[in-house]
Structure 1
């Protein structure tokens, strides 16, 4: 009879199992793991470079904004100083202009007082000429009279009532002008003094 064909146990025959194929398979995995780790390191380095560039860009913008802020602040300060200078000059030259307008008036008054043995008519003519000089000076400097006529409506912004009397005129109308008022450039220097009607009693 032929011998039975049973599987031979290599361990019993003294042969070790062939594990070469398995070892090759296992040894190939660490190589792939190393490749993955290098990719992660590359991404981290790229991220660090991006963050550094963003930081530099942000710092440059901050420096630019700071410089623009300083320039704007300096410009505002210059505008403020120029405005103060303009106001000071306006006050100075406004006063000079008005004073210059009054100099001829002073000259006329001094000349009138220097003349002796004047007639009443000559004196009156001299006073009228001086008054015209004053009116001209007022006009050049935007000064106007406040002289409400009888029957005008009382205006508390322009008039000051000294008294209120019963009258046939409607209540709140001007009865009499006691003293003229004046404005300069639409600003009240002195209100007109008036008597106001209280209406019929």
Structure 2
């Protein structure tokens, strides 16, 4: 028995309605929470994107500056190596009363300085020995001459060649033996 003051036990329909009302009330809250969370993540990602974009732009700009400086000052080390050679030549000109032997000695000393400066900067001579097989990558044949050597071998070197870092700056000018 129930009296007016007592609540009857809820029926299945009432329980379902209460559960549906609770779910409906929680859905907007969870959607609002998800929306707020998504907006927060979007703001964080936008900030991270802008920072990454700015960093990439700074790296690109610094890279361009480095390349520009490298081009501008690429010969600085080589020029520094050439200055003593220039000084030696200037000193030789400053002595007009020098004897032929003194001038020749100065020229040899200057040539040694120049060779050392070139070598320090990886500029190497290509000076093939007589009898060396002709290499079209390092030699330029000026003429073919009859010789007692095998065909296509270097007979004489007319002018030394030079390379830098395995790249030929100037091939050696040579005469080669003609086929018999």
TM-score normalised by L of structure 2:
0.73
Structure 1 pair 32–94 and aligned structure 2 pair: CA distance change class (3 A):
closer
- 1:83 CA displacement: 2.8
Higher helix share: 1
Superposition RMSD on alpha carbons, in Å?
A: 3.0
| Aligned length in residues | 171
For residues 22 and 146 of structure 2, the distance between their equivalents in structure 1, rounded to whole angstroms, comes to 104
Partner of 2:156: 176
1:90-124 deviations in Å (ceiling 9; x for gaps): 34444233223222222322332333344322221
Q: How does 1:63-102 map to 2 (within 5 A)?
A: 63-102=43-82
For residues 196 and 66 of structure 1, the distance between their equivalents in structure 2, rounded to whole angstroms, comes to 71
Name the SS of the counterpart of 2:158 in structure 1.
Answer: strand
Q: Which has the larger radius of gyration?
A: 1
- 1:127 CA displacement: 0.8
Structure 1 pair 74–110 and aligned structure 2 pair: CA distance change class (3 A):
same
1:124 aligns with 2:114: no
Of residues 143-152 and 92-101 in structure 1, the stretch that sits farther from structure 2 once superposed is: 92-101
Structure 1 pair 143–41 and aligned structure 2 pair: CA distance change class (3 A):
same
1:143 aligns with 2:123: yes
For residues 169 and 145 of structure 2, the distance between their equivalents in structure 1, rounded to whole angstroms, comes to 26
Structure 1 pair 194–39 and aligned structure 2 pair: CA distance change class (3 A):
same
Structure 1 gaps of 5+ residues are: 1-27
TM-score normalised by L of structure 1:
0.66
Name the SS of the counterpart of 1:64 in structure 2.
Answer: helix
1:26-85 deviations in Å (ceiling 9; x for gaps): xx9xx7645533432322332232222223222322332232222222223322333333
Q: How does 1:159-174 map to 2 (within 5 A)?
A: 159-164=139-144, 168-174=148-154
Name the SS of the counterpart of 2:75 in structure 1.
Answer: helix
Partner of 1:188: 168
Name the SS of the counterpart of 2:132 in structure 1.
Answer: coil
Partner of 2:88: 108
Structure 2 gaps of 5+ residues are: 1-7
From 23, 36, 54, the equivalent of 2:16 is: 36
Partner of 2:28: 48
